[in-house]
Amino acid sequence: MRTPLIAGNWKMNGTCSSAAELARSLVDHVATDAPCEWAVCPPFVHTPAVAEQLTGSSIQIGSQNVCDKDQGAATGEVAGDMLTDIGCRYAIVGHSERRELYGEDDQLVARRFVAAQRHGLVPILCVGETLSQRNAGEAETVLRHQLEAVFQAAGEGGLAQSVIAYEPVWAIGTGETATPEQAQAMHAFIRELVRERDAATADKLRILYGGSMKAKNAAELLACEDVDGGLIGGASLDAEGFAAIGAATRS
Ligand code: PGA
């Protein structure tokens, strides 16, 4: 039985005070009896203010990235220890915006994944194909490479303490969502890829869907057998809407 995870990716938005306000509002709106777990991933610098508001609540905190190194000469990066120190439990790695805008390749993403685990963070590994890759029939090959790099770096059992987010790049921030059929097919494919390398983990692994998920379309996506929650960008900036997505998870 996989408990769905509803995770908000706040991206590069807001101020310390607006982030704290959003967190406070989430505490008011998020149903503690919803059949899911909750997490939010604020910008690094807003995390302490958010953590303060979420103390005592069931909403956990994640980061939007983590350094592959542990300390020292890595200007502009944030180490895993620093993130656990300010209350993070999860770390997103390999988000398509990092891959596309900042040139993070599969190997760097894999190293970040391993670093997250080394520091006791649960990586949320984002994978997904672009529109041109999908149109060229390459979606499955892309996912295979993205996952393979992580298996190479983390070892056969490396995905045990992790979460995967399938985020088709063409659906992120575009308002276009994968259909439940498309999402289910890709999630099932990812689970089979994992099964090939680590049968013990495959059925336990949570695979989230990400890409324009919102209250309106959440129920049909979350009803898919292999969709175990969501990584939500835009719609996570509204407490009521975010809470409604969690309320739509299957029990
Ligand atoms: P979106 O973003 O929900 O705004 O499409 C999802 C994500 O980038 O994680």
- 32: pLDDT confidence band, cut at 50, 70 and 90? confident
Q: Which atom of ligand 1 is nearest to the CA of 97?
A: 8
Catalytic positions are 95, 167
Higher pLDDT: 176 or 59? It is 59
Kindly state if the Cβ of 212 falls inside 6 Å of ligand 1.
yes
Cβ-based neighbour number of residue 33 at 10 Å: 7
| Helix axis angle, 16-29 to 47-54, nearest 10° | 30
Q: Is residue 85 domain-resident?
A: no
pLDDT at 82 over 90: yes
CA of 11 relative to ligand 1 center, distance in Å? 9
pLDDT in tens, 201-224: 999 999 999 999 999 999 999 999
pLDDT at 44 over 90: yes
CA of 101 relative to ligand 1 center, distance in Å? 15
| pLDDT mean over 135-150 | 98
Kindly state if the Cβ of 9 falls inside 6 Å of ligand 1.
yes
Domain extent at residue 156: 106-216
Q: Is residue 28 domain-resident?
A: no
| pLDDT mean over 74-90 | 98
- 251: pLDDT confidence band, cut at 50, 70 and 90? low
Which CATH number is 207's domain given? 3.20.20.70
CA of 194 relative to ligand 1 center, distance in Å? 24
Kindly state if the Cβ of 168 falls inside 6 Å of ligand 1.
no
CA of 168 relative to ligand 1 center, distance in Å? 10
pLDDT in tens, 92-120: 999 999 999 999 999 999 999 999 999 99
For the chain, what is the domain count?
1
Phi, psi angles (nearest 5°) of residue 110? -65, -40
Distance CA 222, CA 170 (A): 19
Q: Is residue 165 domain-resident?
A: yes
Q: Is residue 149 domain-resident?
A: yes
Q: Is residue 8 domain-resident?
A: no
Q: Is residue 208 domain-resident?
A: yes
Q: What was the pLDDT predicted at 34?
A: 84
Q: C-alpha angle 38/242/164, rounded to 5°? A: 50
Give 35-79 as a DSSP string. SSEEEEE--GGGHHHHHHHHTTSSEEEEES---SSSSSS-TT---
Sort residue 80 into left (φ over 0), alpha (ψ -120 to 50) or beta: alpha
pLDDT in tens, 53-80: 999 999 999 999 999 999 999 999 999 9
Q: Is residue 135 domain-resident?
A: yes
Specify the pTM. Answer: 0.97
C-alpha separations of 53 from 82, 110, 178 in Å: 19, 32, 34
Longest CA–CA span in the chain (Å) reads: 48
Contacts of 85 (CB under 8 A, 6+ apart): none
Q: Is residue 11 domain-resident?
A: no
Kindly state if the Cβ of 183 falls inside 6 Å of ligand 1.
no
